[in-house]
Amino acid sequence: MIFKTFALPAVAVLGSSLGLLTAPAQAAVTFQEGDPISAAIEASSDQVREYNMHLTFLSSPFLEGRLPGTRGMEIAKDYVEQHFMDRGLAAPFVDAEGNPSYRQDFPISEQTDLTDQSLRIGDRQLVKGKDYMALSLGGAGVVTAPAVFVGYSIDKGRDGYSSFEEGDSLVGKIAVMLRFEPMKEDGTSQWRDSGWSARAGYSRKVADAADRGAAGVIIINTPGADDERVDELPAFRYGGRARTEVPVMTMSAEAGERLIAKMGPQGTTLMDLRREADAGRSVHDLEGTIEMVVQTETRQMTGQNVCGLVPGKGDLAGEIVVIGAHLDHLGMGDFGSRYQGPPAVHPGADDNASGSAAMIMLAERFTQYYASLPEGASARTILIQCYDAEEQGLIGAGYYTRNPIRSIEDHVLMLNFDMIGRITDDGGMSVTGLGSGRGLKAFAQPFMADTPLKLVPGDGVMAASDHWMFHQAGVPTLMGICSPLHEDYHTPRDTADRINRVNAVHAMNLWGDICLAAAQHPERFEHNSSPGTADVGRPGRPVRQDPATEPAPAPSTGAGPASTGVRLGVQPGNYGETGKGVVVERVSVDSPAARAGIVDGDRIVKWGGETLADVDDMITRLQNHDPDDVVEIEVERGTETIKISVTLEAKG
């Protein structure tokens, strides 16, 4: 270990020597006898100690939540790759220069980075990060234009509410609007008993203003709103993918007050305008001009699956058993978060540092076991995979199934770990997919009976993790996950200190036993394409931090539904593809899509009369709907284009 020495500033040293810098009197420090943490680690098995090391590193805040494309995720991939190399795994891929590689590159999506921004109200330059912040929800450009206040910018809201009248035009003007939706005097929603409705989301507000020709949009944090986010300016990507070409910014309530005092009706405060907007239409031309500057750069985001190979032996060497876990997580809660509050690191200790740590340890077990096999033994190749971009739609696993190292028909089984760190003695571990291959359940049963874990078995296949892409490709699968899901799922509270390391190691050993036995099992498990569906107990409704897609409840209500939540009932088949709509890989039984006549293979190209860009676009649109909304969808089916009306339903 190298220690650094630092020189104190001369003034500090001098002041100290003269008695000018005095420290307050401090109480005597009392140290606890012993160290319970080190004692617990020392008393643990070698496996638990090693698992703790990997788990703690991968879920460290230093890795920034392992969001694809970030420095933290690069460090996590380096860590896994180095351990795969050290444990003797072979590199299964070839890089662009023709060299062996542990990484499989794949496109995720385009990402827009903010390079410059400024906001000027008349002759006054505002302070970025304090007074305003650009949002990725809008486009780039320089706009200097008169402004108009438009209340909450909600067209055709509930109970006949509307911020606009039929002839209101925003052409050539910057629309200045309030965040959230009409409120009661106490700052809570008029339209929901707790939290906010889907109409409070950024994207729908912006769309309603853009439809009237707005040249730019400024969203002011509404004074008096009963929501802790009202004192925060969201980060650039908080708004999600761009939904309009005009610049979009958020503004603090304090800056909004100054804007109204300078440009609004004489003697009117921002709170006065809020109360007017709470009652209905509130449109006022503002005096003077506003200059908005937003400059961005767009780059292609690339993900990387990190994988290692244990080469097979004998007659079975040409077939593959896959065991995998996704490595990525949510970063600062840029998407998919259930957390209510300002951006924060989502460590993802259970989801899924817990599974990735197991992959590292199983690598050593498998290589040592194969090295011990006698001459002439026959065993399938084992492919260990740590997937990227699972949280963004199973993109890494899906890419592998379309670009495997050998024909996908040579893959005989896929075992997946996703969240094995919170397995309790009461809840246990859910094991699903037992019906996905003929004979698989009977084969796995002796191993399941031998584990100290409580197991919750199921024949069906969950559609919410990487194994689903293998199932769709015709490969039998087994999925292990804690049961039920805990309340820390997809929040900053998913931290290493909450992980049950002992039970995670039990789960790892169970999967290791099954994997090695399957690698030597003489018979294949014939794939069953219709084993039924499976799920695990879910925590409460998501409390999302991203109001562009699903507004979170006000703090006073506690955890609760972020919005009612709606369901279409399709499994997309083209994650990562942009600009070409959504390919329907599978329609869920008895879903709104099935009842409306959408079928497998359809490509959804329009939604509500507007072009549908991609899966992300569809998700955002769904999250801006309420149950029983009727949506006009246009699909391409072969050479036909068909219009279909779908009645959305609440998520079960």
The ranges assigned to domains in the chain are: 62-90+311-426+468-518, 111-297, 566-650
Structure tokens at 151: 């209340």
Find out whether 108 and 301 touch, Cβ atoms under 8 Å.
yes
Closest by CA to 212, choosing from 259, 264, 162, is 162
Tell me the C-alpha distance between 333 and 67, whole Å.
9
The reported pLDDT for the residue numbered 40 is 87
Find out whether 224 and 165 touch, Cβ atoms under 8 Å.
no
Match domain 111-297 to its CATH number in 3.10.580.10, 3.50.30.30, 1.10.10.10, 3.40.50.2300. 3.50.30.30
Find out whether 445 and 523 touch, Cβ atoms under 8 Å.
no
Query: Fold for domain 62-90+311-426+468-518?
Result: Aminopeptidase (3.40.630)
Helix/strand/coil (H, E, C) string of 484-537?
Answer: CCCCCCCCCCCCHHHCCHHHHHHHHHHHHHHHHHHHHCCCCCCECCCCCECCCC
Could you tell me how many residues make up the chain?
Answer: 652
Residue 276 makes CB contacts below 8 A (sequence gap 6+) with 151, 282
Task: Provide, for the chain, the percentages of residues in helix, strand and coil under a 3-state DSSP scheme, each rounded to the nearest 5.
Answer: 30, 25, 45
Partners of residue 118 on adjacent β-strands = 293
pLDDT in tens, 208-267: 999 999 999 999 999 999 998 899 998 888 767 788 899 999 999 999 999 999 999 999
DSSP label at residue 341: S
Please list the ranges in the chain whose pLDDT falls under 70: 1-33, 239, 537-565, 575-579, 652
Find out whether 261 and 124 touch, Cβ atoms under 8 Å.
no
The reported pLDDT for the residue numbered 31 is 52
Q: Treating both helix axes as pointing N-terminal to C-terminal, what angle do 354-372 and 46-58 enclose, rounded to 10 degrees?
A: 130
The reported pLDDT for the residue numbered 15 is 37
CATH code: domain 566-650 is 2.30.42.10
pLDDT in tens, 89-118: 999 999 999 999 999 999 998 888 999 999
Q: Strands 284-310, 610-611: parallel, antiparallel or unpaired by DSSP?
A: unpaired
The reported pLDDT for the residue numbered 20 is 35
For 342, the 3-state DSSP assignment is: coil
The reported pLDDT for the residue numbered 32 is 59
Structure tokens at 154: 């909600």
Which helix (H) or strand (E) segment is 445 a member of? helix 440-450
Q: Where are the alpha helices (DSSP H) in 44-155?
A: 46-58, 71-86
Closest by CA to 293, choosing from 170, 179, 134, 171, is 134
